[in-house]
Amino acid sequence: MSGGGYNYNQQGYRPPPPQGGYGPPPQSFQSPPPQHQQAGRPPHSGGAQQPPPGADPQLYYWFQAVDTDKSGALTTEELQRALINGDWSPFNIETVRLMMNMFDTDNTGTITFSEFAGLWRYIEDWKKCFQTFDADSSGTINFSELKTALRTFGYNLSDNFVNLLIKKYDKYGGEKNAGKGDVTFDNFVQSCVTIKTLTDAFRRYDTDNDGWILINYEQFLELVVTNR
């Protein structure tokens, strides 16, 4: 039996790059991102603390600049100020919380510099991936580009579902249908990570890999609650 949106011929369930959070993306995503997608970093400040041994000095000074309470760790709000889209808009708060949950390894509710460095590498890898699929170099991902990206990742999804994703993640789509059908970088990351997370959860029940599952009400609730 076929169906379920998996690309069986390309080993379905392949996660979008980068895999594992810290590792480099596949070779096809190694091209450097355009300059306008590079998040700004402040210059060296004479009064700032010296970076730890082996740390990227610019990244450390950027961390200090957004650590407004000088606690040595970033809150969700401070982390949001550190993450910028190609159009200089801040990351949406849902994506920031997603990043926080992924990289807050000690479960303190904040991000230390070492955790921030790992998060930054993850973001930089995703920027390279984003540029690969932003075929028109518009700084956003449209329907056809998103469909191509998802298919490349191994998710064989219908046009209707891709349109649903566009409506969900178009930053301006909820403002009286003012959206342009484009997805910014932060929402591209969020949508791809969400698809991977839900697919992994589905896969636990899809033991024969046919794209169909039979679950009871409580199993459905468990699947939803554990992936929110």
Q: Looking at the structure, do residues 199 and 185 belong to the same domain, yes or no?
A: yes
Q: Identify the domain boundary among 133, 162, 187.
A: 133
Q: What is the rounded distance in angstroms from the CA atom of residue 97 to the CA atom of residue 100?
A: 5
Task: Determine if residue 71 is left, alpha or beta; phi over 0 gives left, psi from -120 to 50 gives alpha, anything else beta.
Answer: alpha
Q: What is the rounded distance in angstroms from the CA atom of residue 155 to the CA atom of residue 204?
A: 17
pLDDT digits (tens, 9 = 90+) for 73-105: 999 999 999 998 888 888 999 999 999 999 999
Q: What is the mean pLDDT of residues 117-125?
A: 93
- The residue type at 134: D
- The residue type at 65: A
Q: Looking at the structure, do residues 212 and 176 belong to the same domain, yes or no?
A: yes
Interaxial angle between packed helices 93-103 and 113-133, expressed in degrees from 0 to 180 and rounded to the nearest 10: 120
- Here the tokens at position 147 are 């469909």
Q: Looking at the structure, do residues 113 and 100 belong to the same domain, yes or no?
A: yes
Q: Which domain holds residue 72?
A: 42-133
> How confident is the model at residue 70, as a pLDDT?
93
Beta strands in 99-150 (DSSP E): 111-112
Q: Looking at the structure, do residues 106 and 175 belong to the same domain, yes or no?
A: no
